[in-house]
Structure 1
Amino acid sequence: MKKKAKLTTLAMTSTLLIFTLVGSAQARPHYNRYSGNDRFQTSTAIAQQEFQGQQMQNVVIASAYSFPDALSASTLATKLKASIILVGSDMNDSQDSLDYIKNHLTAGGNVTIVGGVGAINQKVEQWLNNSGYHVKRMGGKDRFATDSLIVNNLAVSHGTPVIIASGNDFPDALGVASLAASKGWPILLSGPNQLSETAQTFVTTDQPTNIYIVGGEGVLHDSVQTALQSAAPSAQIQRFGGQDRFETLSQILTKFYPNPTQIYLANGLDFADALSGSTLAAQNNAPILLIDPKAQQLPPSIKDYLITIRNTGSSPQVNVLGGTAGVPDWVVTQVNDILGSSATTPVVTPPTAISLTVSNPSMTGVTVGLSSALNGLAASNFTLLNSSGYPLTVTSVTTIDGGVTYTLNAPLSAGQTYTVTANYGGNTIGTAQSFTIPSGTTNEMLTVSNPTTAGMTVGLSSALNGLTTNNFTLLNSSGYPITITGVSTLNGGLTYAISAALSAGQTYTVTANYAGYALGTAQSVTVPYGMSNGTLTVSNPSTTGVTVGLSSALNGLTASNFTLLNSSGYAITVTSVTTTDGGVTYTINAPLSAGQTYTVTATYGGYTVGTVQSFTIPSGMTSETLTVSNSTTSGVTVGLSSALNGLTASNFTLLNSSGYPITVTGVTTLNGGLTYTISAALSAGQTYTVTANYVGYVLGTAQSVTIPSGTTSETLTVSNPSTTGLTVGLSAALNGLTASNFTLLNSSGYPITIIGVTTLNGGATYAINAALSAGQTYSLTANYVGYTLGTAQSVTIPYGTNS
């Protein structure tokens, strides 16, 4: 691992050396772009530039997706001489960032996590702790509490100026992030109409000499300014507020950066790259200029600022934060034109190697997938060869998911094999991929579900990625076509959400087509007058969220489908929504307060799903009793005194008699969360302890269990025989038995089908359901790994019983 880290550092140092030499070939490089394949790699590319490949003592990590907690991180990171590294909400999309930290943070270094567990999962924190770093989390119950923790940690001197910015949106705070960081000024977040209590307390205590309000009256009302003046009567208050975020920013730039030696360009419609680059800009006492990548011109106010600094004789170095999707090349060209220099080829931080896949081959082209998004590729970035090695013309290239997949259009022949390669910035992406065009057609089954007035969900029997509106036809009951306004890919092409304006009570048919595929038969569906997905339930309330259950699966719901209100009726931000069972249950992540009551509603396609559900977050800890049974070499059964659904392997700890952890390979929920089957490789004759944890719950005490060395004997009894089944008793409880654990034979020795098995008395008794005949005799045996479950029991069904 050390060798790998050295090689990585050497490679990055070499890149920086090349970068420096290119810059020295002229008086000043026209611009530098610090970017990667995504926001995570962009943050590490910026960190690499900050520390020039040297080891770091400190690092600050912030959420790549949730801006509120991260807004005030710049000043803290600069004080700590740390880079801001972005991570996802869990381990899945954080690996690049964590690998960078592992290779560049000194052993035993310090990591400050900005944000609560709703923004950055506890698994990320655990990984950092396990890696030997000193980890400190600054996360409050909401964005204002988190901001207060950060600001108080700065320990600024009495009278230090402060910046007041909106806690509801990011542009204004990001516009002053590098300014605040370079000067060591705190950024205090405020609500639109009322100064937050934490901000007011800080201002009253600090008595700043200057207060800078960032945002017009539409962003921060005059009542906020009045409260500030009241809290610090002697402070000089100045407001920067324009017609939009760019005009507000230009006022700040004009005051504090009249003749900068460097400027940094960043996407003004997203926060990630500007946040990552704020410490680099602060290091060089430089401003960040936000732009609109969707426009074709610079914002007028930003253009005016550039003209102003040009007229002062300044010729600042131009730097770009992020890739061409966030800051297109035309932006840099216009900036350089204004400043009096022409754009040249940038020094681009090359993307790290990513894997290449191909799918959906047909005579009109193929779909190419990238393991991480790389937007802006064109036909020139792909090479398509036939089996003889001759190049084929790629007529066009399209992407609909930000560069994760590309549809390559080219005239191909059925039965022939082709190879495709991709390149970017002179670097090969992945390895060459071969594919064969089907000679005939591949059959798919088509299903339709979740019909609403806004559309429906279409399912395929096997994944077929990259379908668009052109691949679907929607007809009303009269056979007239209905316009499909949009198509969204779910589950990698197994499912598609079809958007269209439909009428309640009407019946529609949908067909799908794709070259080389028979996509099932036409499917009919009727749009209901109301939602049939009736019952809504809530469970597992904690300070990080709640679990919502639906009486029938409704896949594809997002945060926008759920409304979460506090007891005063104010909306609580749902930070993320996940489902692991196809839409039967959803985990709603949101910052909630212990002891408070909330309500949740769900909607879909204009309809309300179920009724409003209320729940209260436990003020303290809710106690559960923990039991362990059915110990075998393949695992144990854990029981809870009351149901707690949704526990996973991370909620259980299994230790051997020496105290070493045993890997839990799987967890299966039984009885709605009353019982869990824990799968693990255990040894006969050995003793183990199992503990369970869950936020807001005390899940009993550690339970010890010994794995039987041989077999454990049980006595088996049979009672209550009837034509619908019988009752089986065990001399000692053995929970979790199913139909597969019982054998029922008639008097001729032929097996009788067991329809169902119901557990009674915690496994001491089982109700066996089967179709039996009056007057007939049957024998029953039972089996379980590591147990002798008595001997075969005979029973005769009496006449006159039917229950």
Structure 2
Amino acid sequence: MSSSGASPRCARPLRRVVAGLCIAVLVAAGLAPVDPASAQSGGSGVVVIANGWSAPDAGVAAPLAGRLDGVMLYASTESLGSATVSALGKLVPSRVVLVGGAAALSAEVEAEVKSLLPGATVERLSGADRYDTAARAASVELAVPQNRPVILANGWSPSDVGTAAPLAARLGGSVLYAARDVLGAPAAEALEQFAPSQVIIVGGTGALSGDIDTALAELLPDVPTQRFAGTDRIDTAARAALYGNAPTGRPVVIADGWSTPDVGVAAPLAAALGGSALFSYEGAHESLSHALDQLVPSEVVLVGNSVLTDGLAEDLGRLPLDTPQTRITGADRIEIASEAALLAHSRILLSRYDIQSDPAEDRSKVLRLAATRINGELLDVSEFAGRDVLVWFWSPF
């Protein structure tokens, strides 16, 4: 469930999330926003599904979804789950990518997807292990070299994977995994094949030792390498969020840094919103406060049931009073991922069809505007009567 408003500690009234930023319109009988390339399947967009209990698979799926201009959903090994089934019915994707082998997402899950979406292309991206799976995802993301970076993380460190995924999604790059002291053949082959613009190592030498730096220098002598190593995972994530031309005045997505599934959800959502991802902590944290001050967020999206700590509430209380805040919660990680995916999809549609809106516009005007951009003609809202129309409003207005 997504909701909007300030935390109790902030002592602010409930605020509306900008209507035009949080609406998607799907209309049956030819009004669905279908890309020409996917018109044959009757759907639109890409959905990447990962096991919500597998940090390395979620770490691969998050930047992949961002690179494919899609969204990410979670499933368990044996079932999609009711929330994911519901989200797929609303998203109606033309392409679904399952990340991980049958041990992560079983054949039953794949069959369930195909039954729900008979017109969609369903494919599986998996390797011999987490290193190979990450390399195979990179081959999809970096297939057309466009001066893209590669983010390298220890595949056994959920916090570093959680930092690498949103950074890769924001920079349009890819995540590769290595062991502490060994780069490994899958990562080395991917790096050599696609010659990235730079390699960013996430984590200190306790996570990826100096042997990794040496291996990269020998493999790619002309490619610059940089390392992000903070005092802890909150600081490392903050450094990553501020890296390069960090987008100021853009949305910021915040997740509990110790909740691996929520961190995985935050990455593709931040990419869809065109912003950055940060981690929260149980108490006040100087790095998080500094990052929020520097990023000057246009809005804040809080992901998960445990994200809003006292320290974060104090930080949010220092933001301008008109900064919208949205909270995404759910009964479990699958429901939280589904809610985030629907929000991300609405933003992708608005960007794709160049839909602009103002909070003061009423629902009818926004619906007409969406119909105009999607179908090239102005439709009166009364024409929707009696049709199968689904409208997602993410906050009261």
Instruction: Please state whether the residue corresponding to 2:45 is helix, strand or coil.
Output: strand
| 1:11-37, Cα deviation, whole Å (9 max, x unpaired) | x9xx99xx79xxxxxxx98697xxxxx
Q: Does 1:140 align with 2:127?
A: yes
Q: Does 1:333 align with 2:313?
A: yes
Which residue among 84, 107, 114 is the counterpart of 2:99? Answer: 114
Task: Give the alignment's Cα RMSD to 1 decimal.
Answer: 3.2
TM-score, normalising length: structure 1:
0.35
**Which residue in 1 is equivalent to 2:109?**
124
The CA distance in 2 between the partners of 1:115 and 1:248, in whole Å, is 27
Q: Does 1:306 align with 2:292?
A: yes
The CA distance in 2 between the partners of 1:30 and 1:258, in whole Å, is 23
How far apart are residue 237 of structure 1 and its match? 0.9
Instruction: Please state whether the residue corresponding to 2:205 is helix, strand or coil.
Output: coil
Runs of 4+ with >6 A deviation:
28-32, 349-352
Which residue among 130, 138, 147 is the counterpart of 1:151? Answer: 138
- Residues 111, 135 of structure 1: 8 Å contact kept: yes
How far apart are residue 260 of structure 1 and its match? 4.1
- Residues 58, 105 of structure 1: 8 Å contact kept: no
The CA distance in 2 between the partners of 1:258 and 1:83, in whole Å, is 21
The CA distance in 2 between the partners of 1:50 and 1:218, in whole Å, is 42
**Which residue in 1 is equivalent to 2:280?**
291
Instruction: Write out aligned runs for 1:716-735 (5 A).
Output: none
Change (3 A) 1:196 1:158: farther
**Which residue in 1 is equivalent to 2:188?**
200
**Which residue in 2 is equivalent to 1:60?**
48
- Residues 303, 328 of structure 2: 8 Å contact kept: no
Change (3 A) 1:192 1:104: same
| 1:674-731, Cα deviation, whole Å (9 max, x unpaired) | xxxxxxxxxxxxxxxxxxxxxxxxxxxxxxxxxxxxxxxxxxxxxxxxxxxxxxxxxx
Change (3 A) 1:190 1:347: closer
| 1:720-754, Cα deviation, whole Å (9 max, x unpaired) | xxxxxxxxxxxxxxxxxxxxxxxxxxxxxxxxxxx
Number of aligned residues: 304
**Which residue in 1 is equivalent to 2:81?**
94
**Which residue in 1 is equivalent to 2:303?**
321
- Residues 264, 281 of structure 1: 8 Å contact kept: yes
**Which residue in 2 is equivalent to 1:513?**
none
- Residues 252, 276 of structure 2: 8 Å contact kept: yes
The CA distance in 1 between the partners of 2:262 and 2:15, in whole Å, is 20
The CA distance in 2 between the partners of 1:79 and 1:336, in whole Å, is 30
Instruction: Write out aligned runs for 1:262-661 (5 A).
Output: 262-292=251-281, 295=282, 297-309=283-295, 314-323=296-305, 326-328=306-308, 330-341=310-321
% identical aligned pairs: 24
Larger Rg belongs to: 1
Query: What stretches of structure 1 of length at least 5 have no aligned partner?
Result: 1-11, 21-27, 33-48, 355-371, 374-803
The CA distance in 2 between the partners of 1:289 and 1:87, in whole Å, is 24
**Which residue in 2 is equivalent to 1:259?**
248
The residue identity in structure 2 corresponding to 1:333 is A
How far apart are residue 284 of structure 1 and its match? 2.5
**Which residue in 1 is equivalent to 2:222?**
234
| 1:119-169, Cα deviation, whole Å (9 max, x unpaired) | 112101011223313210111121011111111112140653211111012
- Residues 116, 139 of structure 1: 8 Å contact kept: yes
How far apart are residue 173 of structure 1 and its match? 2.6
The CA distance in 2 between the partners of 1:269 and 1:113, in whole Å, is 25
The residue identity in structure 1 corresponding to 2:304 is G
- Residues 160, 206 of structure 1: 8 Å contact kept: no
**Greater percentage in strand:** 1
The residue identity in structure 2 corresponding to 1:215 is G
Change (3 A) 1:215 1:136: same
Query: What stretches of structure 2 of length at least 5 have no aligned partner?
Result: 6-12, 27-31, 33-43, 337-397
TM-score, normalising length: structure 2:
0.68
| 1:154-210, Cα deviation, whole Å (9 max, x unpaired) | 214065321111101222232242332233211111111110211111222222231
Which residue among 140, 160, 171 is the counterpart of 1:172? Answer: 160
**Which residue in 1 is equivalent to 2:351?**
none
- Residues 112, 138 of structure 1: 8 Å contact kept: yes
How far apart are residue 212 of structure 1 and its match? 0.8
Change (3 A) 1:57 1:242: closer
**Which residue in 2 is equivalent to 1:186?**
174
How far apart are residue 103 of structure 1 and its match? 3.7
